[in-house]
Amino acid sequence: MCGTCGCGDDDHITYHKPNEENQEHSHLHHHGPVAHTHFHRHDDYQLSLHQHQGHSHDHSHDHEHTHDHPHDHTHDHTHLTTTQTVQIQRNILSKNELEAARNRGYFDALKVVALNLVSSPGSGKTSILERTITEKGRELNCFVIEGDQQTMNDAQRIEKAGAPVIQINTGNGCHLDAIMIGKALRQLNMSTNSTLFIENVGNLVCPALFDLGESKRVVIISVTEGEDKPAKYPNMFETSHLCLINKVDLLPYLDFDMEKFLNIAKTVNPMLQFIPISAKTGEGFDQWYAWISQQGVE
């Protein structure tokens, strides 16, 4: 079963470079970077086989006989087993966190500033990246990982803008996780002192839970959305460092109450920084670039 959406299909997470779409397609499906759950499941299965080999046939006997206990064999089997409580006190996201730590180590070693861009669908993530790459692609040495459920559209837009990009299609999956990023990084061949933009799947709920190993998390809201987004999706605003308020060119036509928005967002996260921008006109982008450059200095 697929770990991300439970759809029963293990093989639907794909990793593509735009120009290699067809060649890599079948290749990738058969080899490595396919749904991790499958592998884990497989391991588990092997583990249980191991158990059976190690302890020979006794196990299956035990199991089948439990129902018969009242009738016969009672002693034999009760003597064989003991119960025990294992106190593990383990964070359920620990696997993702381990992978995130590996990614973080990779970023540190290459002096990469990695930004995880999260937002509702359509708030302008790809448009912001297009302008950023066009205007600062050289200087910032931009690389991009695109996360979408389906299609190569965003990767094609990024490639046209001029940055190396890997498209991860998560199928029905609603977020990127650190394991997917690790696999994409192996194909991306990043250089030192570069900037990685990860465009997460458009969704303000699930991506909040999954640390990708990013240096900073950037939440994007457009002024066509409601001012109360931070109240509705507090986890996302609480875990972000910067909030880009996009599409401010539309402010004259809307009744988006900026002050109200800022107040709600600050209540959820008093440390959050804000930059109002327009991917259409370029307003605010100097501040955005300055903020990115600052991240490399830290």
Partner 1 sequence: MHELSIAIQIAEIITEEAAKAEALTVTKVILEIGSLSGIEADAIELAVPEAFRNTICENAAVEYHYIKARAVCESCCNEFDPIDHYKICPFCNSLYTSFLKGKELNIKSFDIVKP
Residues in touch with Mg ion (CB under 5 A):
125-126, 154
8 Å CB contact between 119 and 154: no
Query: How far is residue 264 CA from its own chain's centroid?
Result: 26
State both tokens at 193: 């002192």
Nearer to ligand GTP, 5 or 251 (CB): 251
Is residue 125 involved in binding ligand GTP (CB under 6 A)?
A: yes
In single-letter form, the type of residue at position 12 comes to: H
* Minimum distance of partner 1 from residue 235's CB (angstroms): 5
Is residue 205 involved in binding partner 1 (CB under 8 A)?
A: yes
Taking alpha carbons only, the member of 32, 98, 163, 277 closest to residue 146 is: 163
Q: Which does 61 bind (CB under 5 to 8 A by kind): ligand GTP, Mg ion, partner 1, none?
A: none
- Among 29, 65, 95, 280, interactor with partner 1 by CB under 8 A: 95
State both tokens at 256: 């988006």
Residue 219 has φ and ψ, to the nearest 5°, of: -100, 135
Is residue 37 involved in binding partner 1 (CB under 8 A)?
A: yes
* Minimum distance of ligand GTP from residue 200's CB (angstroms): 9
In total, the chain counts a number of residues equal to 298
For residues 253 and 81, what is the distance between their CA atoms, to the nearest angstrom?
A: 72
For residues 293 and 11, what is the distance between their CA atoms, to the nearest angstrom?
A: 38
For residues 41 and 31, what is the distance between their CA atoms, to the nearest angstrom?
A: 16
For the window 1-40, what string marks contact with ligand GTP as x by the rule CB under 6 A? ----------------------------------------
* Minimum distance of Mg ion from residue 199's CB (angstroms): 6
Which residues here bind partner 1, judged by CB under 8 A?
A: 1, 3-6, 37, 40, 44, 47-48, 50-51, 55, 58-59, 62-63, 80-96, 172-175, 177, 205-206, 208-210, 231, 234-235, 238, 266-268, 270
